[in-house]
Amino acid sequence: MIPVTKPFLPPQTEYQKYLDNIWKRQWLTNMGPLASQLEMELKDHLKVNHLLFVTNGTVALQMAIKALELQGEIITTPFSFVATTSSIVWENCTPVFVDIDAKSLNIDAEKIEAAITEKTSAILATHVYGNPCDVEKIQKIAEKHRLKVIYDAAHAFGVEVNGKSIFEYGDVSTCSLHATKLYHSVEGGLLITKDTDLLKKLASMRNFGISGFDSFDELGLNGKNSEFHAAMGLINLKYIAAIHRKRKILSALYDEKLINLKAVKPNWHNASGENFAYYPLVIESEELLIKLRAEMDKQEIFTRRYFYPSLASALPYLPKLELPVTEDVSRRVLCLPMYYDLTIEEIDLIARIMLRIQNN
């Protein structure tokens, strides 16, 4: 069997050393020494000034919306994981979907202004597959209309634009450290902001809004993460360069083997390097995609239609809206297996099967 993804796991002996010390300290959560250390090391690695380690990427999105005190409408993308939209609804705001760009698969910055109304308070855009949005165009629109900007950078760990971390763009950026991600802490998320006052607010919110032993200064929640998760994050950070190198090799091999496949990759931002978090293809037709998947399923080679269907037309708690580019792309997009342990032989097998099915 070849799964679509598989978590990177370091040597168990390395994790056991951290566990031994956790047992000795008996400090399991509430921002223990490992969680604090992870925040410091991540700031250094990502070259950002402010960063918070939280429960997961979804909580990070909800906290960002709440901390920015957003109300009314939030412009967003229909081509993302459901948490991008559900976080908006969960925080009692209304998602307003804007169609995506057919080449980058990100929200089409040229269409954002037409969706702005007097009720619009923010733009929440996803860096799809880690591919940066048109951050400069979005920032100009936000400044012109006095809107806040949140980036769902769940896939974008380690990505830079013009030599600067992608997390430095917008009022707040969030990241997921879920086990399926390029870099993970089993479960986890990040909040990044340049605003020190906003950082303090988010830090307080993460811990129920508690400001002292018997006082509160914010409406908060339990957004903290544990020492066990932080330990995994600390170890995996040591391996991130090797993980990136391996994924780059695997991606290049896919490119070589699938050069004759009737499919295209999304266009990557021209001022940014790839992090190889996924290997997405937009297949020539949905009919071909279904044929490819059916045969690979028989061979126990698993792929994912990521993201399908369009959030604008699929969620039962929102009115249905059909956006032509998103509808078309979501029906034809397919993510192939991509993970550290994937082998050259397995990629060769995947490519041979796909090309055989296409040509039959």
DSSP codes, 104-124 = T-SB-GGGTGGG--TTEEEEE
Cα 227 from Cα 75, distance rounded (Å): 36
What's at 126, amino acid-wise? T
Sign of the torsion angle spanned by Cα atoms 335, 80, 56, 240: positive
Structure tokens that stand for 81 in this block: 């994981």
Helix (H, G, I), strand (E, B) or coil at 160: strand
Residue 360 confidence (pLDDT): 85
Whether 178 and 266 map to the same domain: the answer is: no
Are 226 and 303 found together in one domain? no
Residue with tokens 């050393």: 17
pLDDT at 100: 98
CA dist 320 and 334 (Å) reads 23
- Is the domain of 352 the same as that of 209? no
pLDDT in tens, 59-114: 999 999 999 999 999 999 999 999 999 999 999 999 999 999 999 999 999 999 99
Same domain (yes/no): 149, 257: no
201 and 307, same structural domain?
A: no
Instruction: Give percent of the chain above pLDDT 90.
Output: 98
CA distance 352 to 344: 12
Residue 353 pLDDT greater than 90, yes or no: yes
Mean pLDDT of the chain: 97
Task: Please give the residue range of the domain that contains residue 276.
Answer: 240-359
Q: What is the pLDDT of residue 118?
A: 98
The whole-angstrom separation of Cα 209 and Cα 202 is 9
Q: Which of 196, 211, 234 is the last residue of a domain?
A: 234
Same domain, 188 and 251: no
* Threshold 0.95, pTM exceeds: yes
Q: Tens digit of pLDDT for each residue in 265-285? A: 999 999 999 999 999 999 999
Tens-place pLDDT, residues 168-202: 999 999 999 999 999 999 999 999 999 999 999 99
Q: Which of 16, 22, 58, 57 is nearest to 37 (CA)?
A: 22
Residue 158 has pLDDT above 90, yes or no: yes
Alpha carbon of 205 to those of 58, 107, 218: distances in Å? 15, 29, 6
